[in-house]
Every structure is written in structure tokens, then in C-alpha cells.
């Protein structure tokens, strides 16, 4: 089916929607130059499997290696700017003021683009916390505040002296119960979910489109390749989010 026709179908579904929810994954930030975990790593980091560095076990065994890996990821993400997909989603919020974004991304590109209603399931790569959450979950620590001498090693929590770690959810860790509940409620009450740039392999985030479907809502997917979500999508727009989303938003404005 021609993409133009599919865009019209998406617009028709969106015009009929009263409770729109958007689930985003790494694909939405791809066109901003943010590499995913599943992309090959460059240089020094090429010898490591990132999915094995992003675990509590790796941090316990080699804290400095994991800390340095996150410093490297932060460095690559620092210059990243919102792309047309992030900006189109921010525009969409003006049309659907109740629209909720559920994101698996740890960058802040949705916020930078101007979206305001965001559930960040996997945390924030630019924040740090005490690895023991000694003052409650999370015990955030501003690393610039930590003695610069210390920054050559893994910084320590100013309250209890434990290592500081990135405020992200690692493989094998539980998500925040409050955030997960909020995401489930948003998904169950959505009459339409837009799923953008996720492979749908990491649960529980990947369960959200199913929750919407089971509650009677519809699912539209935007992804240049088939994902785990595609078989349950009512409509799959095969293409890049930065190309397709602005076209949907423009068509919606004209509709
Ligand atoms: N537009 C839309 N989708 C795209 C684009 C694009 N320009 N480029 C790539 N994609 C799609 C890919 O086809 C793939 O299906 O984005 C998806 C990215 O998949 P993953 O790398 O698996 O990212 P994600 O689904 O967000 O991963 C989930 O796993 O890496 C961990 O915790 C991390 O939050 C992450 C979670």
C-alpha cells in the first residue's frame, strides 16, 4: 500500500481518537545521531557487548568500566538535538493536550523538543544517583558537586560513600512501580497508541501496545523494519519517524 494512503489512514484514526498515547524507543532518536545499545560500538568500546555492561552485576564487578562506558555514551549524546520526529510529537501535543508519551529512551530529546507529558520508563542518562539509594529511591547526586579530584574514579555518594551510578534502569532491574503503573493505565485507557522506533523486545515496555489492544484500542506503528510489535499493529507505516511523523502532523492540520 502506498505510504501516502497509509498516512491518510493514520490521520483518520487520529482524528477519531480522544485518548492518544505514544510509545517511543531508540528509533525516534536515531536521526539525532544517538546510537542504540544494539548498534555496534566504536573504538575502545568495540570489544564490549553493551547489554552486558548495562547490568548491576557488571557495575558490582567493574564499577569504573561501567562508569566510563556511561561517560562515553553521555559524550556522544551531548551534541544531539531533537529531530523532526521529536518536533512533530511536540506539535501533536498541541492538537491532543492529554497526549501521553511513554518512552524507553534515556536521552531528553522529547523534553528538548517541547513535549511535556512524558513517562520515562528507563530513567535519565544525564542524572546520577547513589547506588544504594541511601536517602530513598532515587537518591540523586549531582556529580559536578563531587570533589573534582574524585572524578577520576567513580564518584562517591556524599551521604554514605557508596558509588554513584547513572540514574537508568539496567538489564535485570525493576522499573519504578509508580512509572510502570502510570504507563499501564495510560495504555489501557488509550483508544489509539502510536508505537515509534522500538524493536519491542524489552518488556515490560513492549507489553504496552498489547495492553491497548486488549482494552479495545488501536495501534499504529512507525518503523522502517518489521518489529515484534508489527504483528499486532492495525497499521504499520514502514519508514523513518523523522520523515513520516511530520507528514502525519501536516496532513492532520489540513484534515
Ligand atoms: N525511525 C523509526 N524507527 C527506527 C528508525 C527511524 N529512523 N531507525 C531505526 N528504527 C527502529 C529499528 O528498526 C528498531 O526496530 O528502531 C528500533 C530500535 O530498536 P532497539 O534498538 O531495540 O531500541 P528499543 O526498542 O528502544 O530498546 C528497548 O532496550 O537497549 C535497551 O534499555 C534500552 O530502552 C532500551 C530498550
Q: Which of 54, 198, 203, 207 to mutate to test the pocket of ligand 1 (most atoms within 8 A of CB)?
A: 198
225 lines ligand 1 (CB under 6 A): yes
- Nearby residues of 241 by Cβ (< 8 Å), 6 or more positions away: 27, 28, 30, 31, 83, 85, 196, 197, 222
The predicted model gives 176-184 an average pLDDT of: 97
The CA dihedral of 229, 231, 234, 239, to the nearest 10 degrees, is 60
Opening angle at CA 83, ends 82 and 89, nearest 5: 85
The predicted model gives 51-72 an average pLDDT of: 95
The span from the first CA to the last CA of the chain, in angstroms, equals 21
Q: List, by residue number, the catalytic residues.
A: 122
Ligand 1 centroid from CA 50, angstroms: 14
25 lines ligand 1 (CB under 6 A): yes
Residue 35 pLDDT level (bands cut at 50, 70, 90): confident
Q: Which residue puts its alpha carbon closest to atom 31 of ligand 1?
A: 37
Q: Which of 199, 226, 231 to mutate to test the pocket of ligand 1 (most atoms within 8 A of CB)?
A: 199
Q: Which residue puts its alpha carbon closest to atom 25 of ligand 1?
A: 198
Residue 69 pLDDT level (bands cut at 50, 70, 90): very high
Does the pLDDT of residue 146 top 60, yes or no? Answer: no
Q: Which residue puts its alpha carbon closest to atom 5 of ligand 1?
A: 27
Q: Which residue puts its alpha carbon closest to atom 8 of ligand 1?
A: 27
pLDDT of residue 10: 98
244 lines ligand 1 (CB under 6 A): no
241 lines ligand 1 (CB under 6 A): yes
Q: Which of 22, 23, 26 to mutate to test the pocket of ligand 1 (most atoms within 8 A of CB)?
A: 26
The predicted model gives 104-122 an average pLDDT of: 98
Strand order in the sheet with 218-222: 118-120, 100-103, 20-24, 192-196, 218-222, 235-237
Give the Cβ contact number of residue 79 at 10 Å.
Answer: 8
pLDDT tens, position by position, 208-244? 999 999 999 999 999 999 999 999 999 999 999 999 9
22 close to 193: Cβ distance less than 8 angstroms: yes
pTM of the model: 0.95
Does the pLDDT of residue 30 top 70, yes or no? Answer: yes
C-alpha 160/C-alpha 72 separation (Å) is 26
pLDDT of residue 144: 76
At residue 79, the 3 state secondary structure works out as coil
| Ligand 1 atom at shortest distance from the alpha carbon of 121 | 34
Total residues belonging to the chain: 255
| Ligand 1 atom at shortest distance from the alpha carbon of 106 | 34
104 lines ligand 1 (CB under 6 A): yes
Amino acid at each position: 500500500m502506498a505510504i501516502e494512503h497509509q498516512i491518510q489512514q493514520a490521520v483518520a484514526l487520529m482524528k477519531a481518537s480522544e485518548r492518544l498515547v505514544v510509545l517511543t524507543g531508540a528509533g525516534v532518536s536515531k536521526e539525532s545521531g544517538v546510537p542504540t545499545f544494539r548498534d555496534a560500538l566504536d573504538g575502545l568500546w568495540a570489544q564490549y557487548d553493551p547489554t552486558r555492561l548495562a547490568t548491576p552485576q557488571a557495575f558490582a564487578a567493574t564499577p569504573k568500566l561501567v562508569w566510563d562506558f556511561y561517560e562515553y555514551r553521555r559524550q556522544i549524546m551531548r551534541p544531539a538535538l531533537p529531530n523532526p520526529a521529536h518536533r512533530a510529537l511536540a506539535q501533536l501535543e498541541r492538537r491532543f493536550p492529554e497526549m501521553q508519551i511513554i518512552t524507553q529512551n534515556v536521552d531528553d530529546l522529547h523534553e528538548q523538543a517541547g513535549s511535556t507529558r512524558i513517562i520515562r520508563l528507563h530513567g535519565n542518562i544525564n542524572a546520577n544517583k547513589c547506588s544504594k539509594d541511601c536517602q530513598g529511591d532515587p537518591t540523586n547526586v549531582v556529580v559536578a558537586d563531587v570533589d573534582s579530584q574524585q572524578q577520576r574514579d567513580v564518584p562517591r555518594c556524599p551521604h554514605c560513600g557508596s558509588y554513584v551510578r547513572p540514574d537508568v534502569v539496567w538489564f535485570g532491574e525493576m522499573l519504578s512501580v509508580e512509572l510502570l503503573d502510570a504507563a499501564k493505565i495510560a495504555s489501557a485507557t488509550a483508544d489509539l497508541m502510536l508505537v515509534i522506533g522500538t524493536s519491542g523486545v524489552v518488556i515490560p515496555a513492549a507489553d504496552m501496545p498489547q495492553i491497548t489492544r486488549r482494552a479495545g484500542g488501536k495501534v499504529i506503528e512507525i518503523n522502517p523494519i518489521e518489529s515484534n510489535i508489527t504483528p499486532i499493529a492495525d497499521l504499520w507505516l514502514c519508514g523513518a519517524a523523522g520523515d513520516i511523523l511530520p507528514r502525519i502532523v501536516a496532513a492532520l492540520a489540513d484534515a
